[in-house]
Structure 1
Amino acid sequence: MKAARTFRQRLRSYYLMFTAGFAGFLVSLAVLEQEGMSRIWIGYLFMFSTIVLYATIGVISRTSNVLEYYVAGRRVPAVFNGMATAADWISAASFISLAGGLYLRGFDGLAYIMGWTGGYCLVALLIAPYLRKFSQYTIPDFLAERYGGAANPEGGGNVVRLLAVAATIIVSFTYVVAQIYAVGLIASRFTGVDFSVGIFLGLASILVCSFLGGMRGITWTQVAQYIIIVVAFLIPAVWLSAKHSDNPIPQLAYGKLLPKLSAREAVLQADPREAEVRAIFRQRADDYEQRLQGLPASWEAGRLEVQHKLDKVKHRNASLLEIRSAERALIAYPKSAEEAERVWSEARTQALTRSEPITPHATPYPGDPASSDIKRNNFLALVFCLMLGTAALPHILMRSYTTPNVHEARTSVFWTLFFILLIYLTIPALAVLVKYDIYSALVGIDYHHLPNWVSYWANVDKLTPLFSISDINHDGIVQLAEITIDADVLVLATPEIAGLPYVISGLVAAGGLAAALSTADGLLLAISNALSHDVYYKTVDRSASTQKRVTISKLLLLGVAFVAAYTASQKPGDILSLVGAAFSLAASTLFPALVLGVFWKRCTTQGAVAGMLTGFGVCVYYMLHTNPILGGSSAAQWFHIAPISAGIFGVPAGILSMIVVSLCTPAPAPATIALVDYIRAPEQ
C-alpha cells in the first residue's frame, strides 16, 4: 500500500514538472516569435520537440516483461489511467474533425458528441469492471474463455477467439488509418513536407512508444499527450469566447452567441448576391446532370472540345500560362466514360449541396416533414451505433486491464469521463464561435483584402484543397456559398482565424498530433497483441517463451504500422467517415458477444459464433450496397439510413442470432456458468 502511494506521488511530481516545462516551452516560443522567428521554424520546433518527447518516454519505458508490455504491470493509478484512456479516446476525429463536423452540419453533428459520451457510460456500466475482474490481456482472451476455454475441449473457445481477433484487426485497422491520415495532414501543414512524408514522420513516434514499451510506454506517453491536448484545445476556444462574448468560458458564451449567429444567418439568407451564387451552382448541377444523361457521347464531345481548346491556344501563340492551363484541363479530363460518370456525379452532388439554402445551425432536422423524419432517424441511428461501438472498441476496453483492482477500474472510468468532457463540452461551443467569426469577419469582405491564413490553407493540398474561396459571381465580394472548408482543417486553422499568434497554431497542431498519435498507439498495440497473444501464443505455440511472445508482438506491430501508413497515404476518405465505419463494425461484431457474455449465462459458444458472423455480415453487406465510395448506391438504403450507421441493422441481427442459436444448442458447461457468476459477483 505504501509502495503504491509512493508510486502515485512520484507520478504526480513527474507530470507537474512536465506541465511546467511545457508552459515554459510555449512562453519561449512566443518570445522567439516576437523576436522574428519564422513560422516554418516554429512549426518545426513544435512538431519535432513533441515527437522527441514521446520517443524519450517510450525509450525510458522500454520493457520485455509480458505483464508490463501487455497491461502496464496492472499498476496504473485511476487518475492517470483516466488521463491515458481519455488521450486514447480523444482521437483525430474528436480533436480535428468533430468541431468541423458541427460547423458544417449544425445540430446534426451533435450525434457524435452524444453517441461517444453515452458510449463511455455503457463501458462503465456494462463491461469495464467485469473485464478487469477477469484479469486477462486482450478482448479475444475474455471472449474465448467465456465461450468455451478449458470447459470446451472441442475447441469452441478458439473459434470465438479467432473471430474476435479478426474483428479486432478489422475495426482497429479502419480506425488507425484515420489517425495516421490526420498525422500526415498536420505534418504537411506545419512543416511543409509532402503529405506522404508527413505520415511516415509521425509513424516514427508511434513506433518508438509502442514498439519499445508496449502498454507501459503507451500509458505514460498518453498521460503527457492528454496534457498537451487539453491545453491546445482550450486556449483558442477561451480566446474566441472572450473576443465575441466578453466571457472566457466557452460553454457559457455558446448560449449567448447562438442568437447572434442565427441573426447573421438570416441576413445572409436574404442577401441577393448570396442567392445569385447559389443559383449558379444550381445551374452547374443541371449541366452535370445533362452530361450524365448524354453519356458516353457527352464524354467524347467534351474530350474533343478540350483538345480543340489546347490546339487553338497553341495555334495563336498564346501565353505560356494559357497553354499550361489548357494542358492541365486536358490531363484532368476523365480518361473514360466510366470515370466521367463517377467524376461528374461527384461534381453534381457538390454543386447541389452548395446551391441549397443556408441551414440554420441550431435548427434540428430542417426541411419538409419527409426529409426531417429521415434526418431524425439518421441522427438517432448514428447515436445508437456510436454508443454501442464505443462500448466494444478493443483498444479502449484493453485499458480496463491496467488498473490495480476492480475498484480502481471503476474509478478510472469516472476520471476518463471527466477528462473527456473537458474537451467534449467545449467542441460545440468552438464550432459556433468559429462559425460566427467566419460569417461576420470573412463573408462580405473584398477579395483583395483576404486574410493571409486563407492562402496558407488553400495550398496545403493542391490536389484536394482543404480550404478555398472562388469569386463565382465575379462581384469581388466574398459570399458564404463561395467558401469551401473541409471539416478536417477547422480546428487546425482556428488560431489563425481568431487572429492569435502563430505559436498557438503550432500548439494546436501539436495537440492534434498528440490526439492522433495517442489513439494510433493504442490501436496498433491492440492489433499486434491480438495477433501475438491470441493467434500465435494461444493457438499456435503454447510453449513460447515470454521473450519470444513480446518479440513477435513487436515485429507484428511494425508490419501493421507500415501497412496502415501506406493505406492512409492513399487518402481513402475523410476522418469522420472512416471512424464511423469502425464504430458500426465494432458494435455489430463484438458488442452482442461482450454484453450477453456477461449478463446471460445461457449464451453458448455456437450462439456467439453465429452472432458475431451474422452481425458482421449484415453490417458489411449494408455498407457495400449503400456506400457509393464502395461501389454501392444510396438508392439501396433501408429506411433511408446512411451507410455510416450500418450497425443499426448489424447489432439486432447479431443479438437475435445469438439468442436463437443459443436456445437451440446445449447449455454451457458448469465451469462456464461458474465463470459468469464469478465475474458478476460484487467485489469483496
Structure 2
Amino acid sequence: MEQYTLNLIFVGATFALYIGIAIWARAGSTSEFYAAGRGVHPVTNGMATAADWMSAASFISMAGLIAFTGYDNSTYLMGWTGGYVLLAMLLAPYLRKFGKFTVPEFIGDRFYSPTARVVAVVCLIVASVTYVIGQMTGVGVAFSRFLEVDNATGLYIGAAIVFMYAVLGGMKGVTYTQVAQYCVLIVAYTIPAIFISLQLTGNPIPALGLFSDHVASGQPLLERLDQVVQELGFAEYTGHHSNTFDMFLFTMSLMIGTAGLPHVIIRFFTVPKVADARWSAGWALVFIALLYLTAPAVGAMARLNLIDTVYPNGTTEAPIAYDDRPEWMQNWEVTGLLSFQDANGDGLIQWYNAGSADFAATAEERGWAGSELTVNRDILVLANPEIANLPGWVIALVAAGGLAAALSTAAGLLLAISGAISHDLIKGQLNPNISEKAELLSARIAMAGAIAVATYLGLNPPGFAAQTVALAFGLAAASIFPALMMGIFSKRVNNKGAVAGMLAGLIVTVVYIFLHKGWFFIPGTNTFTDADPLLGPVKSTSFGAIGAVINFAVAYLVSNATDEPPQEIRDLVESIRVPRGAGAAQDH
C-alpha cells in the first residue's frame, strides 16, 4: 500500500474518532461546556491533562530543538516538567476548592474587582493566542508532508477538525477526545523511538539506549554524537555553551509560565473533589513522563541519523551526492521545510557549521563554500521514521500522533479563550442576566472566532513551534502566575495591587518580546530572533521570569500603599488554604 494511502487511513480514522466522541459527549449546559459537569475521573482527567499539556511543541518541536542544540535545550524539559510539579503542588488543588469555572473568575472574586477580572481576561487571551499559534504551526508542518498539501491548506483542514469537535463538545467533548488523542500520540511517539533505539544501540528502551553503546562504531552513543558534530564545526552536543544566567531565567520562565497557563488549570476544575485534583495531577505526571523521558533519546538519535544520512561512509569528509539523496529528503523538499543549495557546484551535500571560525580552514581546504542543507527543526520527529527506514505504517502513525498532539492542546486553549470571553467578559461584565442557552451560544461563537484568528496567525508564526510556545509561557509567567500565587497565599494583596501588577508584568513583557522583535501579527513581517537582546544576555523567550518579578513587586508595593482587603476576602483566602471539608469542593 502506498504511503500516502496509509497516511490518509491513519489520520482519517483518528479524525473520525475525535468527531464521533464529540457527538457522543456533546455539551448540553454551560457546566458541561466549561467544566465537563465536574464529573471526570482522576485517571481520565490525568490522561486528558497530559494530552492537553503535550502539545505540538512537545511532540513535534522539542526533540528537534534538543537535537540541533543538545544539552542547552534541555531547559525545555526541565522548565516544562518542573512547572507542572509547581502547578500540581501550589495551585491546582486550591483553585479547584474555590469552585469556579475559569481563571479570570477566580481572580475577579479573590480581588473583589470586575476590573481585575477583565485584566485577567486580557492576559489570558494574549498568552493563549500566542500559544495556539505554535499548535497551528505544528498542524501545518504535519499536514504539508503527510497529506501532501501546502502549509496553508493543512492549517485550514486542522482548524476545521478542531471546530467540529471543540465547538460542538465543549470541555466535556474535548476531555474524552483528549484521552483518545493521548493514546494516539504516546503510541506514535514511543514506537518509532523503540525501533530506532534498537537499530542504533540494541536497547529497546530509548531512555537507556541514549547511554548505551552505538552499534556501528562501538563507542557510547553520546560520545559518538559529540565526535561527529565537532568534526563538522558544531558545538559539543553534551556541553554547556549558552549563558548560564539566561538559561536559568529561561527555565524559570517556562516553570512559572506552566503554572499560570489557563488551559491546563481549567482541567482541574473538571473533577468532583479537591482530592481528585491532586490525584489528577499525579496521574498526569505519570503520563507526561512516558514522553518526556523518551524525548532526549529521540533528539540525539535523530541528529546522529541525519548526519549519517548526509555522510553515509562513516566519515564527515565524504558527503552524499545530491542526486543520490534518499527518498525521505526528496519528500520533505516538496514541503519547503528542507532545502539544498549547491554553493560550490560540486553536486555534493555539504552540511556543517559555516559560522565556526575553528572549522573555516578545514572547510576551505575541502573546497566547501558554505553549508548547503537547510533543515527546519520542526520536521525532525516527523521525519525520524523515514530517516530510519521504518515501515510505512509507523510513518502514518507518527503523522496521526503529531496532529493529535497539536489538536489536543489547541482545543484546550480555545476552550480557555472562549470561556474567558463568554463567561467572564459577556456574562461577568456586559450582560450578567444572559440566559444559560445564550451564554452557551456565545461560548461557541467565541471559540469559532478564536479558531479563525489562530489560523490566520498560524500562517506566519514568529518562530519554531517550541519557540512560539516559549513566548506564550513567558507571557503567562509575567501576568497570570503571580496573580494566582498572591491570590492564594497572600491576604495583604488587594484589588489595586493585583491589577497594577498584572498590567505591569504583561505590558513590560509584551514590549520586550514583540515590539523589539518587530513581529506585529502581520504575515510577511516575521522577524523574530533571540539574537542581540535588549538587556545583555536576557533573551525574549527568557524575559517572562523578569516580568513575573516586576508583577510581584508592583502588586506588593501598590497593595501596601493602599487599603487592606476587606475582612471577608481575608477569610476567603484562609478558607482556600485550610483543608476543612476537603472531601467535597465548594461549588457555586
Counterparts of 1:67-82 in structure 2 under 5 Å?
67-82=31-46
For 1:263 and 1:534, how far apart are their aligned partners in 2?
A: 55
Match among 13, 36, 48 for residue 84 of structure 1: 48
Whichever residue aligns with residue 244 of structure 1, its letter is: L
Structure 1 partner of 2:196 = 240
Counterparts of 1:103-142 in structure 2 under 5 Å?
103-142=67-106
For 1:625 and 1:219, how far apart are their aligned partners in 2?
A: 36
Over aligned residue pairs, what C-alpha RMSD do you find? 1.8
Structure 1 SS opposite 2:26: coil
Whichever residue aligns with residue 37 of structure 2, its letter is: G
Structure 2 partner of 1:606 = 496
8 Å CA contact 2:226, 2:238 repeated in 1: no
- In the TM superposition, residue 189 of structure 1 has moved relative to its aligned partner by 1.1
The CA deviation string for residues 172-227 of structure 1, in whole angstroms up to 9 with x for no partner, is 11111211121122112111223212111111221122111110000000000000
Unpaired segments ≥5 residues, structure 1: 1-36, 149-156, 275-356, 366-371
Whichever residue aligns with residue 258 of structure 2, its letter is: T
- In the TM superposition, residue 105 of structure 1 has moved relative to its aligned partner by 1.1
- In the TM superposition, residue 569 of structure 1 has moved relative to its aligned partner by 2.1
- Report percent identity of matched pairs: 41
Aligned pairs, how many?
A: 543
Question: Within the alignment, does 1:379 sit opposite 2:340 as a pair?
Answer: no
Q: Structure 1 residues 263 and 241 mapped into 2: Cα distance closer, same or farther (>3 Å)?
A: closer
Counterparts of 1:290-301 in structure 2 under 5 Å?
none
8 Å CA contact 1:589, 1:616 repeated in 2: yes
- In the TM superposition, residue 480 of structure 1 has moved relative to its aligned partner by 3.1
Whichever residue aligns with residue 577 of structure 2, its letter is: R
8 Å CA contact 2:27, 2:171 repeated in 1: no
8 Å CA contact 1:54, 1:221 repeated in 2: yes
For 1:446 and 1:636, how far apart are their aligned partners in 2?
A: 38
The CA deviation string for residues 262-305 of structure 1, in whole angstroms up to 9 with x for no partner, is 345435645xxx5xxxxxxxxxxxxxxxxxxxxxxxxxxxxxxx
Q: Structure 1 residues 257 and 671 mapped into 2: Cα distance closer, same or farther (>3 Å)?
A: farther
- In the TM superposition, residue 564 of structure 1 has moved relative to its aligned partner by 1.3
8 Å CA contact 1:626, 1:642 repeated in 2: no
8 Å CA contact 1:257, 1:433 repeated in 2: no
For 1:266 and 1:488, how far apart are their aligned partners in 2?
A: 24
The CA deviation string for residues 88-108 of structure 1, in whole angstroms up to 9 with x for no partner, is 000001100000000111111
Counterparts of 1:204-353 in structure 2 under 5 Å?
204-257=160-213, 259-263=220-224, 265-266=226-227, 269-270=230-231
For 1:635 and 1:521, how far apart are their aligned partners in 2?
A: 35
8 Å CA contact 1:181, 1:575 repeated in 2: yes
8 Å CA contact 2:111, 2:498 repeated in 1: yes
Structure 1 partner of 2:586 = none
Question: Within the alignment, does 1:98 sit opposite 2:78 as a pair?
Answer: no
Question: Within the alignment, does 1:446 sit opposite 2:323 as a pair?
Answer: no
- In the TM superposition, residue 647 of structure 1 has moved relative to its aligned partner by 1.0
Structure 2 partner of 1:306 = none
For 1:476 and 1:188, how far apart are their aligned partners in 2?
A: 27
Q: Structure 1 residues 525 and 625 mapped into 2: Cα distance closer, same or farther (>3 Å)?
A: closer
Q: Structure 1 residues 435 and 114 mapped into 2: Cα distance closer, same or farther (>3 Å)?
A: same
Q: Structure 1 residues 549 and 79 mapped into 2: Cα distance closer, same or farther (>3 Å)?
A: same
Q: Structure 1 residues 55 and 534 mapped into 2: Cα distance closer, same or farther (>3 Å)?
A: same
Whichever residue aligns with residue 12 of structure 2, its letter is: F
Whichever residue aligns with residue 61 of structure 2, its letter is: S
- In the TM superposition, residue 257 of structure 1 has moved relative to its aligned partner by 4.9
Structure 2 partner of 1:597 = 487
Structure 1 partner of 2:564 = 667
Match among 234, 242, 264 for residue 358 of structure 1: 234
Match among 22, 33, 37 for residue 58 of structure 1: 22
For 2:114 and 2:94, how far apart are their aligned partners in 1?
A: 21
Question: Within the alignment, does 1:676 sit opposite 2:544 as a pair?
Answer: no
8 Å CA contact 2:225, 2:237 repeated in 1: no
Q: Structure 1 residues 140 and 269 mapped into 2: Cα distance closer, same or farther (>3 Å)?
A: closer
For 1:603 and 1:532, how far apart are their aligned partners in 2?
A: 27
Match among 261, 278, 293 for residue 393 of structure 1: 261
Question: Within the alignment, does 1:573 sit opposite 2:441 as a pair?
Answer: no
For 1:517 and 1:268, how far apart are their aligned partners in 2?
A: 34
Structure 2 partner of 1:30 = none
Which structure has the highest helix share of the two?
1
Structure 2 SS opposite 1:468: strand
Structure 1 partner of 2:304 = 436
8 Å CA contact 1:265, 1:358 repeated in 2: no
The TM-score normalised by the length of structure 2 is 0.89
For 1:194 and 1:59, how far apart are their aligned partners in 2?
A: 30
8 Å CA contact 1:92, 1:575 repeated in 2: yes
